[in-house]
Structure 1
C-alpha cells in the first residue's frame, strides 16, 4: 500500500472536506505535504457548531474557546485580542475594544484585522475624555465616575456585519452604542461612524435580513434602514402588542424568515445593589408586518438557535449528535457592575418541546469586566 504521505493533493483535499475544524488543523500537522494542502482548499468546510468565546487566560494571555461539538476547551494565542473586551461577533469575526476604547474587527483564526475609527460620543451624559457622568443640577446623587475597564463593557452593546468581509469588501458594520444603544454604521474606508437618525428610544436588537438592516425597539416596533440619502430608520409597522414583559428580545434571519425571540427571566436573589436574574423561558414568533400581529412558533424542527451578543445563528441539529434538536442556546448578555458577585452566569439551552432549560456548559462566574461569553462560527477560510 502506498504511503499516506504520498497521496495526491486532490485526494487529500477531498479528505479534508470531511474534517471538522479542529481535525483540519491536526491534519496539517502530519507532514509538510499535508500542511500545504490544509492551507489551500477548494472544498467547503463541513458544517460547524458555533464555538463559545470565553475569557483571556491571565498568565498566558491566550483566548479561551469552548467547542460545543466535542465539549473541549482550546486556548489560542491571538495577539490582536490581548486585553480586549469582546462586544460582538458576526460571520466568524469578532468586534473587540481595548482599554483605550479603540475598536477592531478581527478574524481570530486567520488574524485578519480591520482597525475601526473612534466610536461616536458615548452619550450626552458621559464625557468620554474624563469618564465622568454628567447629571442635572437638581440631582442630589452626584456624578458617576467610570473606569476605562467599565467603559470597555458599556460603550458597545452589540455589533454585526452585513456580509463576511472575506467574501465582500463592501460590507457594512452596524453597532448599538452607549446606554441608549444608539445605532451607527461604518463602511471600510470611512474615517468615522455615521450615527443613524429616526429612532427616539433605545434599541433591543439588530439583524441583517434580505439586504436590509432591521432594528427592534423595546415596544416591539420594527424599523428598517434607509440608505437613499443620509442613513435613517423608517418604521415598517406600528407597535405589536405582546403579553408579559420579556427581559430581552432578539431578531434572527431563520431560513429566510424574520423571527423575534423573547427571553423571560426571573430574579432569584435580590439585595441592596445586588440582583441575580436567570432565564426561565423563551418564545419564538414571526412578525407579520402587514397584519401587525405576531405568529407564535411552537417548534423549529431539526434546527437549533444560538443567541447572545452575537449575530443570531441557526444550525441544522441533525448534523451534530451533541446539539439539541428544537433547542435555543443562550448566553449571558447583560452587564451589572453592582452585581459583580454573580458576574456572567446565565447560560443554558431551552428545549422548545418540553419547555425546559438545561445546562450545556459548566457555569463559571465570569466577571462583568471580562466580557459575556459570545457565540462564534469558525471561519478560517
Structure 2
C-alpha cells in the first residue's frame, strides 16, 4: 500500500470534499503538503449540521460554539466578538453589537468583517449620545428607560443577508429593530440604515426569497418590501388562519412566534406556540408549517418536510437534508430560545429542543448543558462558512 504522504495532489484534494469542517482543519495539520491542499479550499466541506453560537468565555475571552454533529464544544479566539451580543446569522456570517452599540457583520471562521453604521433610533432613550447608564427608578425599584447592557440586546431583533458577501459584493443587509421590529436595510457603501415605511404592528421574521424581502407580522400578515421610490412594506394579501391546531390545542394558547424560510424554492411560514409559565415566560408546545401560495392567493398546510430538518431561531432559518446526515432528526424542527427583555418582566420563549412533525410532539432537547435564561446570548444557529 502506498504511503499517505505519497498520494497525489488531485487525490488528496478529492478527499477534502468528503470532510466535515473540523476534519478539514485536522487534515491540514498533518503535514505541509496537506496544509497547502486544505488552504486551496476548492471543495466545500461535506454536508454538516449547523453549529450553535454560544456565549463568551470570560476567562479565556473566547467565543464558545457547539458542534451538533459531534456533540462537542469549541472555543474559538475571535477578538472581534468578545463582549458582543449576537443578533443574527445568515450565510455563515454573524451580526454582533458591542456595549457602545456599534454593530459589525463578521464571518467568524475567516474573520472577514464589515463595520455597520449606527443603528436607527426609535425613541429618546435610544439615542447613544444621551443614553445614561442608570436612570431613576420607578416605585418598584426598576430602572426607568434603558441601560447600555439592555440596549445591546434590544436594538436589533433579527438580521439577515440577501447573499453571501463573498459571492456577491453588492449584497443587502436587512434588520428588524426597536420594539415593533421595524425593517431597515443597508448596503456596502451606505453611510446609514434606510428605514422602511412599515405597518402599525410588530414584525416577527424576515426572509429573502426570489429576489425580494418578505416579512411576516401579527395576525399572519405577509408583506413584501417595495424598493421603488421610497421603500415601503406592501401587504401580499393572503389570508392565513390564526387558529390552527397544534398537538391538540390552539396555537394561540400561550403565544405565537412566526418564522419564514425558503425551503427548496417554497416559501414556508412556521408558527411556534407554547404555554406560559412564571414571569410570562413561554415554553414551546409545537409548530405548524404553512406554505403561502402567492400566485394562487391561498395556502397549504404541510405535515412533513420530506425528511429534512429545520433550524429556527435568531438566525436566517436553515434547512438540511437529514438523509445525508444520519444524526439529524428527519422531519424535525430544531428550535432555540429568542428571549426578549423589553420590560422588567422577562418574556418570550425560554427553551430549546426538537419537535417531530410526524408525531406532533416535542422530542426533548439537543443540548444537554444547562442554559441560564436570559443571562447568556440566545443561542444562534450558524452554518460554518470558511470558504
| TM-score, structure 2 as length reference | 0.90
Query: Which whole-Å deviations, capped at 9, do the CAs of 1:322-381 have from their partners, x for residues lacking one?
Result: 1000000000002236467x9984000000111111111115233435310000000010
Question: Could you list the runs of 5+ residues in structure 2 that have no partner in the other structure?
Answer: 244-250
Structure 1 range deviating more: 311-320 or 197-206: 197-206
Structure 1 range deviating more: 36-45 or 172-181: 36-45
Which of the residues 258, 268, 290 maps onto 1:259? 268
Structure 1 Cα separation of the partners of residues 337 and 370 of structure 2 = 11
Structure 1 Cα separation of the partners of residues 199 and 20 of structure 2 = 43
What residue number does 1:44 align with? Answer: 44
Contact 1:345 1:365 in 2 (8 A): no
Task: Name the SS of the counterpart of 1:11 in structure 2.
Answer: helix
What residue number does 2:330 align with? Answer: 325
Aligned 1:223-242 pairs, distance under 5 A: 223-237=223-237, 239-242=239-242
1:201 corresponds to 2:201: yes
Structure 2 Cα separation of the partners of residues 115 and 369 of structure 1 = 26
Structure 1 Cα separation of the partners of residues 10 and 171 of structure 2 = 33
- Tell me by how many angstroms 1:266 deviates: 0.6
Query: Which whole-Å deviations, capped at 9, do the CAs of 1:30-64 have from their partners, x for residues lacking one?
Result: 11111111111222321121001111111001111
What residue number does 2:340 align with? Answer: 335
Which of the residues 240, 246, 257 maps onto 1:248? 257
Query: Which whole-Å deviations, capped at 9, do the CAs of 1:6-29 have from their partners, x for residues lacking one?
Result: 322211111111101100000011
- Tell me by how many angstroms 1:144 deviates: 1.7
What residue number does 2:14 align with? Answer: 14
- Please provide the CA RMSD for this pair: 2.3
- Tell me by how many angstroms 1:149 deviates: 1.1
- Tell me by how many angstroms 1:180 deviates: 1.2
Contact 1:198 1:232 in 2 (8 A): yes
1:289 corresponds to 2:294: yes
Which of the residues 362, 379, 386 maps onto 1:373? 379
- Tell me by how many angstroms 1:132 deviates: 6.7
Aligned CA distance change for structure 1 residues 200 and 124 (closer, same or farther; 3 Å): farther
Structure 2 Cα separation of the partners of residues 344 and 292 of structure 1 = 31
Aligned 1:56-205 pairs, distance under 5 A: 56-123=56-123, 126-131=126-131, 144-205=144-205
Question: Could you list the runs of 5+ residues in structure 1 that have no partner in the other structure?
Answer: 134-138
Structure 2 Cα separation of the partners of residues 18 and 56 of structure 1 = 31
Aligned CA distance change for structure 1 residues 153 and 160 (closer, same or farther; 3 Å): same
- Tell me by how many angstroms 1:241 deviates: 2.8
What residue number does 2:368 align with? Answer: 362
Task: Name the SS of the counterpart of 1:228 in structure 2.
Answer: coil
Structure 2 Cα separation of the partners of residues 143 and 300 of structure 1 = 46
What residue number does 1:28 align with? Answer: 28
Task: Name the SS of the counterpart of 1:60 in structure 2.
Answer: coil
What residue number does 1:136 align with? Answer: none
Contact 1:55 1:63 in 2 (8 A): yes
Task: Name the SS of the counterpart of 1:204 in structure 2.
Answer: strand
- Tell me by how many angstroms 1:292 deviates: 4.3
Aligned CA distance change for structure 1 residues 343 and 27 (closer, same or farther; 3 Å): farther
Task: Name the SS of the counterpart of 1:229 in structure 2.
Answer: coil
Aligned CA distance change for structure 1 residues 127 and 192 (closer, same or farther; 3 Å): closer
